[in-house]
Structure 1
Amino acid sequence: MKKSDLTIVLLLTLAALLGPLQKVDAQSGSQLRWSPEKAWQWYKDQQWICGANYIPAYAINYTAMWDRTTFDSVAIDRELALAEQTGLNSLRVVLQYAVYAEDPEGFLRRMNTFLCSCEKHRIKMVPALFDDCVFGLEHDPKTGRQPEPLEGWYAWAWSPSPGHSMVVDSSTFPLLERYVKGVITRFSNDKRILFWDLYNEPTNGGLGTASLPLLRNTIRWAREVRPSQPLSVGVWDGNKRLNEIALNGSDIVSFHNYGNLDALRKMVEELKLQGRPLVCTEWMNRPAGSLISTHIGYFSQEKIGCMLWGVVNGKTQTHLPWGHRPGDPAPKIWQHDLYTADFRPYDTAEISLLKQYCNTVNRK
């Protein structure tokens, strides 16, 4: 064999050996992804997922929910009791890296306290580890006491996790890796966790493709823990590059849809091609036609899990439409939320429908 031929053979052999490793890295650890069969078996073992996105009424952002200075387990327990009475069996909650970084063990204790309240009220938690959303002026979280609401501004003090300056700075990734692995490892076999939503709306808040390196790494870090619960990254817009990463990194397919029933059906038909269970982790926008009266029956009929936004209206002012600013006309109908701060239903017919569908479908 000529030296040149031997060189070619060696190069081809090396490529064959490195190929699988490169594929794992390129697909963010997708070779550890659950098979469709395993995902469907997990889904069949669950109640029909009928839940909500949750932030306590006292919290203007998720920093305030989890911070040691403001975490209020009594208020949370009251609201979770209300969620249980409504028929909700799952709550999706964003975690805050900044609070964890300040005191990892304290944060994990508070997360366990929240999970104990969930278990008490027959609710499972869907933690979201990162979130790129920004609705106000701040792009990085600050721990401690948070601002008060600015009347008329939707979620004006929302705090992303970990914050945009860390998302775009890869030198911070070792810190974020310890956070992802620390949280998931602590609760990796906890039956109170329904599934892990690794990253809420990556690329939002003006970040664009700058979020993708952290997203890929987050999926890989979570896979390395190998939790007993499935992993997911929600599809939320039409970015093909983002959606490819999200879908390839998900055991079950989660998605956001705030459109009317036709828009929802169209998105569902596209996502069904993935051949995996579907959970709509954000919906209900009354002005846009995303309504309990039109959607809950469809989710039930199609056996698609659903988690509306949100439970009790409070400091986030998410009854206002996106982009609402002080001085704008008051909305005629609420965008989100089921209850006023004093636990009165915004629409009693909606509550009746939720109770009807959740209790009927999940009756053992």
Structure 2
Amino acid sequence: MKQRWSSAQVQAWYQDQGWLCGFNYLPSTAVNWTDIWQQETFDALTIERELGWAADAGYNTLRINLPFIVWEHDRDGLMARIDHFLRIADSHGFSTMLTLMDDCGFSGDEPYLGPQKSPVPGKHNSQAAASPGRDNVCNRDSWPRIERYIRDVIRQFRHDKRVLLWDLYNEPGNRGIFATGTEEVLYDEKLETFAHELMELAFRWAREEDPDQPLTVCAWRLPPEEKGERFYQHPLDQTALALSDVISYHAYTNTARMTAIIQQLQQLGRPIFCTEWLARHVGSTIEEQLPLMYMAKVAPYQWGLVRGKTQTWLPWPVLMKESTDYCRLWFHDVFEENGIPFSRKEIDLMRNLREISSSTRA
């Protein structure tokens, strides 16, 4: 299948999945995606333990990023570790969304191998590492290597039933809010230009490998609230929506806007995946938005699972200036390092929705 899936085909595929409820996963012992996938720091024991907590809570799917730099350095080892991870996830009942590229290098560093820097005390996601990194994205001479990476990983797992979906490029063009601590997302015009072209090529390369799984890239740029309620109008977001088999989007926002976003995206007539959400300080809460997405047949993937080295229980830098309750109220994540939930009410709600979904499907 070398063309975009038809609406009828992808809706039939989505119906077969049942209700998907997931999270973005980094083990609590990893500070970024390079950290989890290197041989020296691949922590299977922690992954096994933490995914067990998630399965017991009612989750059944997860999203995780892969690192181009590890593939370049240790291709066979990375493939073996992906397979190992998929085995662990599958044993707990999880399907896995694999993300191949990511522009969110909020650390300010280009990706590097070896021991990763320790988290900056008090800073949200301080060592986030991009893949393949801004220097590679903005250098067309690097693109043949990126093409080989994308084709190689998809070819390896294109018929693997443990892989639910290919997310080709996380937040293309994003170099902003976490690194700067400013309220506005800062746009890197050069990066955006190259990322737009590279994203289009990634769709072509992936489709030529003919995977069994559908493809997506998220729309992620939300305008400020005072600018109205048309969302994801940036050209790069519009291209992502036009090329994706399933619609995916990111929305860390209040429930009224989340509702309006879903209503807008439903007009596209395709399955909808909210692949990043949950930001309790800005009104993106499990209590309000998980039932909303369940009723709207949206597959939710919140940010974070276990509080750890990414420090994403802390708010974004701009909110740290305004909020003093980040010890009482976590921004992302749902479990402490010992498996105790941040909120038992949140976990009970998730389990109840899972039971309703299972009984309805039966």
Aligned-residue offset at 1:137: 2.6
The correspondence of residues 87-98 of structure 1 with structure 2, limited to 5 A, is: 87-98=58-69
Aligned-residue offset at 1:136: 2.3
Aligned-residue offset at 1:323: 1.9
Which residue of the partner structure matches residue 179 of structure 2? none
Aligned-residue offset at 1:239: 4.4
Which residue of the partner structure matches residue 133 of structure 2? 163
Which residue of the partner structure matches residue 343 of structure 2? 347
Aligned-residue offset at 1:329: 5.1
TM-score normalised by the chain length of structure 2: 0.89
CA contact (8 A) 1:153 1:325 kept: no
Aligned-residue offset at 1:151: 0.9
CA contact (8 A) 1:153 1:324 kept: no
Q: Which shifted more, 145-154 or 181-190?
A: 145-154
Which residue of the partner structure matches residue 221 of structure 1? 205
CA contact (8 A) 1:135 1:154 kept: no
CA distance in 2, matches of 1:281, 1:108: 24
The correspondence of residues 259-338 of structure 1 with structure 2, limited to 5 A, is: 259-323=253-317, 331=326, 332-338=328-334
CA distance in 1, matches of 2:209, 2:257: 36
Which residue of the partner structure matches residue 54 of structure 2? 83
Aligned-residue offset at 1:324: 6.0
CA distance in 2, matches of 1:246, 1:326: 32
CA contact (8 A) 2:105 2:133 kept: no
Which residue of the partner structure matches residue 194 of structure 2? 210
Which residue of the partner structure matches residue 142 of structure 2? 172
Which residue of the partner structure matches residue 227 of structure 2? none
The correspondence of residues 41-80 of structure 1 with structure 2, limited to 5 A, is: 41-80=12-51
Aligned-residue offset at 1:34: 0.4
Task: Report SS of the residue matched to 1:45.
Answer: helix
Deviations 1:101-158 (A, max 9, x none): 10111100000000000110000100110010132231x1101111111110111111
Q: CA RMSD in A?
A: 1.7
Which blocks of at least 5 consecutive residues in structure 1 are unaligned? 1-28
**One-letter amino acid of the structure 2 residue matched with residue 245 of structure 1:** T
CA contact (8 A) 2:306 2:335 kept: yes
Which residue of the partner structure matches residue 26 of structure 1? none
CA contact (8 A) 1:202 1:211 kept: yes
Which residue of the partner structure matches residue 13 of structure 1? none
Task: Find runs of 4+ consecutive structure 1 residues off by over 4 angstroms.
Answer: 324-330
Aligned-residue offset at 1:97: 0.5
Which residue of the partner structure matches residue 103 of structure 1? 74
CA contact (8 A) 2:251 2:276 kept: yes
**One-letter amino acid of the structure 1 residue matched with residue 210 of structure 2:** R
What is the percentage of aligned positions where both structures have the same residue?
37
Aligned-residue offset at 1:326: 9.4
**One-letter amino acid of the structure 2 residue matched with residue 360 of structure 1:** I
CA distance in 2, matches of 1:309, 1:202: 17
Task: Report SS of the residue matched to 2:100.
Answer: strand
CA distance in 2, matches of 1:270, 1:287: 24
Number of residue pairs the alignment of both structures matches = 334
Deviations 1:24-82 (A, max 9, x none): xxxxx9x7100000000100110211010100000000000001110011111111111
Distance 1:323 1:209, change over 3 A: farther
Task: Report SS of the residue matched to 1:130.
Answer: coil
CA distance in 2, matches of 1:217, 1:94: 19
TM-score normalised by the chain length of structure 1: 0.88
Task: Report SS of the residue matched to 2:288.
Answer: helix
* Higher CA-based Rg: 1
**One-letter amino acid of the structure 2 residue matched with residue 214 of structure 1:** L
CA distance in 2, matches of 1:80, 1:349: 19
Which residue of the partner structure matches residue 230 of structure 1? 214
